[in-house]
Amino acid sequence: MAANPYFKALPPLKEDRLSRELGAYQLSLLSLGYFKTGEIRSIANSSLPCHRIIYVTAGPIRYTIHGSTFILERGDVLYTPPNTIYSAGSAQDHVHPEFLYLYFHVLPHHQEQPFIRMMETAGKIRIFHALRSPVEFYFHTLMEEYEKQRPGYYHKIHSYLMLLVMELLRQKGAPESTVAIAGTDSGSALILNKATSYIAANIHEPLRVSQVSHVCSVSESCLYKIFSAALGMSPKEYILNCKAEYAANLLKGKNMTVTQVARELGFSNPNHFSNAFYKIMGVRPSEYRKN
């Protein structure tokens, strides 16, 4: 069969830098909704264990983050990384702020810090003005899909979340930092991806480093070198950090006892769980729940 000369003349589609960098992440949406303050006029020293984007639909709102106070008006978008401590409230009397919100996780876990750096929030907060922009359209489309829940809505919501992040990055220009893992080659990065994905999928089990190294087909010493170079911690420390973070979310729910949380995360001994949690979080599980 003769080759089609027209097809040969078609220019190839080339992947641009921003698309390539965003391809390193999976964004997992946890919750979205429309917040109306009502009787709640202010929030003091609050934090969330996830990434957060809000779009202000009625303001102004006064925010204090990292000791800096600023005002968000209608059409402003605020992104904050996990565990950002903030205070917020109405900036004017008799005004009830309203905003749309998205809470999401970034996977794989070891890529979270590069994602935060890409969003320009390492030590500072990123604010965008999105009135009458594609960001405004994406937010309203997300909410419409969530409310109507038509067939395929879940996939469409996650697709629009990535589009929203891409548009925010476009507004500040292409990121200067790359998502490559410092100190690792492509082979090590693949092993790290496989190891952290396995840990996340088996967080409820009593994980051992030997299990993880076996899954990745490398020795424990090799796995230790890869984790130390890329994350600055050993595989065991990484596992305990993941379990402590997961436990903190369960403890906030107050539906499970400390012993139940320990069993949920594969700890046969509650005291062992308490000591591991204290080593990472600096407080005992019971104290964390109380505070």
N residues, the chain: 291
* Long-range contacts at 39-43 (CB < 8 A, ≥ 24 apart): 41/89, 41/90, 42/87, 42/88, 42/89, 42/90, 43/86, 43/87, 43/88, 43/89
pLDDT tens for each residue of 96-147:
788 899 999 998 877 888 888 888 654 445 677 776 678 888 898 899 999 9
Q: What is the structure's pLDDT at 116?
A: 83
Q: Terminus-to-terminus CA distance in the chain, angstroms?
A: 74
pLDDT band at 268 (very low <50, low <70, confident <90, very high): confident
Mean pLDDT check: name the lowest of 1-5, 132-136, 241-245. 1-5
Task: State how far the Cα of 248 lies from the Cα of 267, in Å rounded to an integer.
Answer: 15
pLDDT tens for each residue of 159-189:
999 999 988 888 765 333 333 444 445 567 6
Q: Is the dihedral of CA 227, 233, 239, 242 positive or negative?
A: negative
Non-local (6+) Cβ contacts of 28 within 8 A are 104, 105, 106, 107, 158
- Amino acid letter, 268: S
Question: 144 vs 41, which has greater pLDDT?
Answer: 144
Mean pLDDT check: name the lowest of 38-42, 152-156, 183-187. 183-187
Q: How far is Cα of residue 189 from the mean position of the Cα atoms in its chain?
A: 20
Q: What is the pTM of this model?
A: 0.57
Determine the average pLDDT of the residues in 90-94. Answer: 76
Q: What is the DSSP string of 51-64?
A: EEEEEEEE--EEEE
DSSP character at residue 10 = S
Residue 156 dihedral angles phi and psi, to the nearest 5°: -65, -40
- Amino acid letter, 254: K
Assess contact for 76 and 128: CB atoms under 8 A.
yes
Determine the average pLDDT of the residues in 256-277. Answer: 88
Structure tokens at 206: 């009593």
At 197, is the secondary structure helix, strand, or coil? Answer: helix
